[in-house]
């Protein structure tokens, strides 16, 4: 059996990137996202013994991260910007194919309301099913499916709108 | 499956494996096109979402932070052990103090004292007269009315941190050691006591405990009676 330390390191290597990306899309601030990820993994280390099945690690980490993120709001009730209104497109460097459509899409995903964005991210990053997302967000499955539908619908409309804008500019 | 339901299902889960979805697209070109478009959109979404660059060295920082936290908690544990050790030491200290306040058997103490001093006082002959004895006795409020025999040695000594008078006297049946100790609450005494080498008597007169220690089998009754008769304490 692996030592606790080895288990932890394996967990970090396997999940830190996806957990960070999820945190980023949830928080939309890179440095706060990293702080929350730090807290998440520290918490995970402390209760690592409660993780019996490595297959459950993904949802376990997501649960911890959501809780740590909620704690951040409890701690800092003031000094809060309504980040849904802030454009995040310029903050993250897109590592490759900085195509116009990607940048547009990045901006539009960031602009989605959290209730639409979060299930979409859980599905896109972790490949969670509707049921799994429902469990994670404590919603019923139909609500989750509706939100996923609206999220993509809004993105499609926003992209079409942008294309029209670009089209009209170019034309 | 009607068109609206189809769209909703596909938008919610572009990778849907539902048989009803598969059946719906079977013979419907526009639905096939729509599904293709949504899959393309979803591919872009997944790519965009995963394109977020993870800060360099994040994994190492996570492991470092954990080992630092672990180190700190071990240090706290060590402090905890030190605190525990200190508590135990403190309790031991209290117990020793309580133990020290337990009744002290002065008969035993007299024997220990007798062993400790050895034979030196017993061999000394300072030829102490009654007046000199009384000066010393007066320090503890005592007075010897009459000569009750030769006094070879009379000196203050420490009797379990209590200033006491240590006498070597002639009992009429050889030398005996007599301790005069101001009575303390925690003192207890046996009227007759003995071990392999010595016999002893202890009794109190006024506020003083008198302990007579002689050799094994030595007659001590006469000494005891004389002391009880002639030694008085004013306090």
Give the whole-angstrom CA distance, residue B214 versus residue B231: 19
Residues of A in Cβ contact (< 8 Å) with B44: 101-102, 105
Q: Three-state SS for A25?
A: helix
Contact predicate B101/B186, CB 8 Å? yes
Q: Which pLDDT belongs to residue A89?
A: 46
Domain range enclosing B189? 104-233
Average of pLDDT values for B142-150? 85
CATH code for position B135? 3.40.1000
Instruction: Find the mean pLDDT for residues B113-139.
Output: 84
A42, A144, A149 member nearest B8 (Cβ): A149
Decide: B223 and B233 in contact? Cβ < 8 Å. Answer: no
The token pair at B147 is: 């000569």
Number of compact structural domains in chain B: 2
Residue B21 has pLDDT above 60, yes or no: yes
CA dist., res. B110 & res. B105, Å (int): 9
Mean predicted confidence (pLDDT) in B108-135 = 84
Across B70-74, average pLDDT: 78
Beta bridge partners, B181, equal B209
- Where residue A169 falls among pLDDT bands split at 50, 70, 90? low
Least confident segment among A38-47, A76-85, B173-182, B190-199: A76-85
C-alpha distances in Å from residue B149, one per residue of B80, B166, B177 = 66, 15, 13
Contact call for A20 and B55, based on CB within 8 A? yes
Q: How far is A96 from chain B (nearest CA, A)?
A: 8
User: What pLDDT score was predicted for residue A76?
Assistant: 61
Evaluate if residue B215 carries a pLDDT over 60. yes
Can you give the residue ranges of every domain in chain A? 1-85, 97-171
pLDDT band at A166 (very low <50, low <70, confident <90, very high): low
Let me know if residue B187 belongs to a domain.
Answer: yes
DSSP B128: B
pLDDT at B45: 94
- Contact indicator for A62, A105 with CB cutoff of 8 Å: no
Mean of the pLDDT values across residues B124-129?
84
Q: What is the pLDDT of residues A37-89, one digit of tens each?
A: 999 999 999 999 888 888 899 999 999 999 999 988 777 655 555 444 444 54
Q: Is residue B17 part of a domain?
A: yes
CATH of domain A1-85: 1.10.1740.10
How far is residue B165's CA from residue B157's CA, in Å, rounded to a whole number? 6
Confidence tier at B77 by pLDDT (50, 70, 90): confident
Cα separation, A93 vs B91, whole angstroms: 64
State the average pLDDT over residues B99-107: 72
Nearest Cβ partner for A42 among B13, B50, B66? B66
CB contact (8 A) between residue A152 and residue B58: no
Averaged pLDDT score across all residues of chain B: 86
CATH assignment of A97-171, among 1.10.10.10, 1.10.10.410, 1.10.10.2520, 3.40.720.10? 1.10.10.10
3-state secondary structure of B192: strand
Residue ranges of alpha helices (H) inside chain B are: 3-12, 19-26, 29-50, 58-100, 106-117, 120-123, 130-138, 221-230
At residue A73, the 3 state secondary structure works out as helix
- This complex has an ipTM of 0.83
Percent of chain B with pLDDT over 90: 25
Identify residues of B whose CB sits under 8 angstroms from chain A CBs: 7-9, 11-14, 38, 41-42, 44-55, 58-59, 61-63, 65-66, 69-70
The residues facing B153 across adjacent strands are: B168
**A149 in contact with B at a CB cutoff of 8 Å?**
yes
């Amino acid at each position: 059996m692996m030592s606790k330390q080895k288990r932890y390191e394996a967990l970090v290597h396997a999940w830190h990137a996806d957990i960070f990306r999820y945190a980023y899309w949830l928080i939309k601030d890179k440095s706060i996202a990293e702080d929350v990820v730090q807290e998440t993994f520290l918490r995970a280390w402390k209760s690592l013994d409660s993780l019996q099945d490595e297959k459950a690690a993904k949802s376990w980490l997501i649960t911890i991260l959501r809780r740590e993120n909620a704690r951040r709001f409890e701690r800092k009730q003031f000094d809060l910007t309504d980040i849904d209104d802030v454009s995040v497109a310029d903050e993250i460097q897109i590592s490759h194919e900085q195509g116009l459509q990607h940048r547009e899409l990045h901006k539009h995903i960031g602009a989605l309301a959290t209730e639409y964005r979060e299930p979409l991210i859980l599905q896109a990053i972790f490949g969670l099913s509707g049921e799994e997302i429902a469990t994670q967000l404590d919603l019923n499955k139909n609500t989750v499916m509706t939100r996923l539908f609206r999220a993509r619908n809004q993105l499609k409309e926003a992209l079409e709108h942008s294309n029209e804008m670009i089209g009209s500019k170019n034309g | 499956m009607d068109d609206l339901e189809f769209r909703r299902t596909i938008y919610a889960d572009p990778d849907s494996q539902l048989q009803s979805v598969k059946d719906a697209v079977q013979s419907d070109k526009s639905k096939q096109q729509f599904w293709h478009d949504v899959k393309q959109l979803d591919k872009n979404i997944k790519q965009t979402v995963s394109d977020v660059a993870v800060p360099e060295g994040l994994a190492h920082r996570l492991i470092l932070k954990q080992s630092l936290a672990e180190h700190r908690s071990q240090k706290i544990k060590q402090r905890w052990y030190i605190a525990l050790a200190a508590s135990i030491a403190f309790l031991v200290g209290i117990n020793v103090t309580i133990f020290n306040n337990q009744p002290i058997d002065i008969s035993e103490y007299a024997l220990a004292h007798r062993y400790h001093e050895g034979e030196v006082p017993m061999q000394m002959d300072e030829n102490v007269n009654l007046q000199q004895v009384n000066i010393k006795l007066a320090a503890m409020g005592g007075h010897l009315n009459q000569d009750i025999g030769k006094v070879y040695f009379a000196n203050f000594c420490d009797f379990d941190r209590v200033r006491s008078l240590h006498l070597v006297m002639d009992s009429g049946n050889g030398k005996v050691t007599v301790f005069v100790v101001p009575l303390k609450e925690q003192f207890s005494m046996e009227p007759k006591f003995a071990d392999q080498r010595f016999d002893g008597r202890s009794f109190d007169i006024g506020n003083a405990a008198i302990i007579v220690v002689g050799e094994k089998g030595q007659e001590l009754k006469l000494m005891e009676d004389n002391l009880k008769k002639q030694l008085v304490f004013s306090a």
